[in-house]
Each structure stands twice: as structure tokens, then as C-alpha cells.
A and B are shown apart, each in its own frame.
Chain A
């Protein structure tokens, strides 16, 4: 309990009140406005800022050759980088999707995927059973994924005319559900134009 200093006329100053106490009789609309504004800033402002900062670098929703002999159709939200001339990557929400053009292979897709599985297991990832899928172009493929406590990874391999194209996604666990979904949609659109021997 604080002692209130006496004024020269003998009166005392009113006791100091905390914000919590001052809020009791106060109208609630300023607080409501504050919470709404901050929430909208996170829901609308932050994604808008991220979009402004990102260039994209590819024609959204149109088929384009993202890696030699490998065509994909990509929705907005990724950033494409082919500047190295060796690696062809899409990034999104801290995750990176690497596209490896189709090359001829004697291995089956299962055997090729086992390499990824072994690498993930050696890094103590929880690895799922491989699952099969078919692209929109009709090529068959398999996918496997793994999680650590903070990171996640997934590998898709598509088989076409004796060759295999690979898509490798790595990123934070916290946004992996969203990035996996987006990457999976991208892989579905893949069309192998050419197989390198």
C-alpha cells in the first residue's frame, strides 16, 4: 500500500491506479480497435509485405521450363532462382524446393527413393513409408518425407521414358504442411520434356 504525500493544504493525492483498474469503467472500443488492427496487420499486412519483397521470377499459373527438359505450372507464392545455371530452386516460407532434371537411370524409383530415405534416417528424421502418385501428365512417381523436431524434408521422384526427375523439398517444420501442399501441387503439374542420358 503506497503512502500518499500530503499537499500543503493537508489534502492527499489520489492513489495511483494501474491500467487494469483504469480499464474497468472505461469503454471497450479502443482496446477492441487495437486488437483488431494488430490482428489485421498480421493477417493482411505481413503477407502483403512478403509479396512486395518477393519478386517471384516466373510466370505464375502458366507452364514454363523451370529446369532443362522439365516443365511445371506454378501458382503464386514461390520465388524462382535459376541464376546458378546448375540448381533450379523455388523457395517459399523458408522452404526450398530443388528441381533435378530427368536423367536416364537403371535404378527403379523405389531404389532411388531408398537413397533419400537412408539419408533422412541417418539424420534421425522420422521417415514415412513411400507413397505412389500419378502426375497430371500421366507419369507415375513416388514420394517419401521425414521430420526432425524443427526441420522437415520430402522427395518426389517421377519416372518418364526410362528417366527420373527429382524434386527435393526441405524447410521448417512449422510451415511444412503449407509448403508440402504447395510443392505437391507443383509436382503434380510436372511434364518431362526431355530425358538426359
Chain B
């Protein structure tokens, strides 16, 4: 979301824009990534089909669950499925594909700098190349206007999706190195536990979300160039440092579980601080939208007070249910969703845009539905 004054609607509704050369560079890199990483996925599945399919099922379920969690955190804004899929594909195939070449090179360079038997070489090699690689995907998406990466919140969201794609495909490949790990089902489950849950909260989605917030700010802010560059490079550096810290030999015990858990703490705390800052800015932008862009009869500043937080929205729905019943409560949920969609569309593309008009229509329909269930009350 940008300043309410500037309304320029992109030509597409998502990052899928075949008229953009960035899109076609992405397609080329995807082919490269599929050759590099996708071939390993195919070999894993073909050489041991049953455990391979089992691993695929487990990691797909994990991806779906984490995606739902990320979507829940991004409740203000519903983003196009195509853009989300493209972000996931960058992380899953392009970043991992390039990583098969770049990561060993980075490890070699780091080993030359700090010594091959130094545990920091591993950590530096991974963090220094994987974070910029994932961030590059977000930059590519942001360069396609239809992706609408116009705020730190957008960057944070898509950064997390790119990181999720990277983590899922990388972890699938780890757990299906049959020649190394064998084809045991219990090993596959243990991998999911170790990489998905024990280290999951302080892993690729978290690092990429942090760097992504900086990219979103860079593309969406009207602040000075120096400030925008400083924020973007600063968040990238923070993501790299956190990644290196997490992989470093610091706080290593014989049992990796407590070590992983302890190292997760500062990563999660920093990530939550950034999420809080980003959401605060997003709320302010939406508040300004309710005040200055969207007509009060559609979303007034008073309406926004009940939209401001998930808790406020739930409370309003609960009160509606108590007063007018379940159907009215469900209708109010629809009104709230349509109001948020309208605010986001109006700020992104202007009140006259196709997206805002569609959201306006949905709001009108939702308000009509609400009136049917509470005929004597005002519907906001």
C-alpha cells in the first residue's frame, strides 16, 4: 500500500504478467532451477516411489499448514493466489536450483577465509548466499507491478512465502537422500520433526520475511533513497546475521534439540518485533485510507476502529451474534472482509480501479445480506 494520493493501477491483477521481461527472466531461471533442483526431486521420487511419495505428502502438508498460518498473520490483505504461487516457486525451485551451484562455492570461499575446519565456515557460507538468493526473488516480484509489492507488509508476506518454498523443497531433498539416509519412513518423519518443527520457527521463512520487509519498504516508501537503501540492505544484513548465528557452532551441545531451541529465541524475538512494526505501519496506512480515500458511507474512520485488530473484528462479530444471531454474525464477517478488501484496493489502485469497484460491489452485497438479518439496525 502506498500514499493515498498516488493511484496508478498495474495492467495485471497478479505477478503473472507475460508482457514483462522480468517475468520471462523468471521463467528462464525456473527452467534452470528445475534442471538443477527439480531433477533431484524427480530422482528421489522415481528411485524410491513409496517413501518418496510419503515424504512429498508430509512436506506438502507442512507447506499448506505454514501457508495457512502466514495467511492468518496477513489478515488485512488477501493476495492473489498466482502471485503467492510464483513466490513459492522462486523459493522452491529457482533459489534452491541456483543454490546447488552458488552455495558450495560460497562454502568454499568462506572456508578459504576462516579455515575449512572452522565451524563458522559452514554458517557463513549458507547465510551469505541463501539470503540474497531468496531476496532476489522478492526483488524480481516487486519489479513486476502486478505483484503489488508496495509496502513492508507486502514484502514481509511474500518474503515468508519464498522462504517457505525454499525450506520445503530443501528439506524434502534432505529427507530423500536415499543413498545417504536410507528409505526408512521413520527417518523421513524425524526429518520433518527436526527441520520443520524444532528449527521451523527460526528458519528460512523467518529470515526471508525479515529481508522481505526491507524490500517492500524500498519499493513502497516515498522516503529518501538513502533511507530506503539503508532499510533494505539493513534488513538483508540482519537476515544474514541471524541465519549465520543459527547455523554457527555457538551454543552447540551433544544433543541438537536444546541448541536449536535456544538459538531460536533471539531469531523469533527479532522477527516478532519487525512484524509488529510492519503491522503498525500497515494499520496507519489503512486508517488513512478510511479517513481520506474511501467514502465514509463505505468505510468510515469509526468503522475502521472495529476493523483495526483481529480481536476487535471478533468482538464485533460476537456482539452481532449475541444481538441478532448466527446468520447476522456471518454476514458481518463478510462486511468486514469486503471493507478491508476495499481499503486495500483503494490504497493500491485507487477508488476508480477495477479491483476497488469489485470490492465495493462485494461490500454492497455483504451489507445487503447483513440488512436482511438485522433489518432494524444500521450496518455501517
B84 interface hit (Cβ, 8 Å): no
Given A15-B3, A122-B254, is A54 in contact with B143 using a C-beta cutoff of 8 Å? no
B180–A42 CB distance below 8 A: no
Minimum C-beta distance from A10 to chain B (A): 19
Chain B residues near A92: list those with CB within 8 A.
104, 108
For chain B, what secondary structure do more than half of its interface residues adopt (helix, strand, loop), or is it mixed?
helix
Identify A28's interface contact among B21, B108, B199, CB under 8 A. B21
A166 interface hit (Cβ, 8 Å): no
B139–A1 CB distance below 8 A: no
User: How many residues belonging to A are interface residues under a CB distance threshold of 8 Å?
Assistant: 63
A6 interface hit (Cβ, 8 Å): no
Minimum C-beta distance from A32 to chain B (A): 4
B104–A96 CB distance below 8 A: no
Minimum C-beta distance from A156 to chain B (A): 12
Identify B4's interface contact among A1, A34, A91, A180, CB under 8 A. A1
Chain A residues near B181: list those with CB within 8 A.
126, 128, 145, 147
A20 interface hit (Cβ, 8 Å): yes
Report the separation of the CA atoms of residues A149 and B125 in the bound assembly, to the nearest whole angstrom.
16
Identify B180's interface contact among A1, A151, A177, CB under 8 A. A177
B22 interface hit (Cβ, 8 Å): yes
Given A35-B143, A39-B136, is A149 in contact with B260 using a C-beta cutoff of 8 Å? yes
B354 interface hit (Cβ, 8 Å): no
Looking at B108, B132, B150, B293, the one whose CB has the most chain A CB atoms below 10 A away is B108
A194 interface hit (Cβ, 8 Å): no
B112–A54 CB distance below 8 A: yes
A-B contact count (CB 8 A): 219
Render B158-179 as a binary contact track against A, CB cut-off 8 A, 1 for contact: 0000000000001001100101
Given A35-B139, A172-B126, is A94 in contact with B174 using a C-beta cutoff of 8 Å? no
Chain A residues near B6: list those with CB within 8 A.
15-18, 21
| A residues with CB within 8 A of B | 1-2, 15-21, 23-25, 28-29, 31-32, 34-36, 38-39, 42-43, 46-47, 49-50, 53-54, 79, 89, 91-96, 122-124, 126, 128-129, 131, 145, 147-152, 154, 171-180, 184
| B residues with CB within 8 A of A | 2-6, 8-10, 19-26, 28-29, 32, 40, 98, 100-112, 116-117, 121-122, 125-126, 129-130, 132-133, 136, 139-140, 142-145, 148-150, 170, 173-174, 177, 179-182, 184, 187, 190-191, 194-195, 198-199, 218-222, 228, 247, 254-257, 260, 288, 292-293
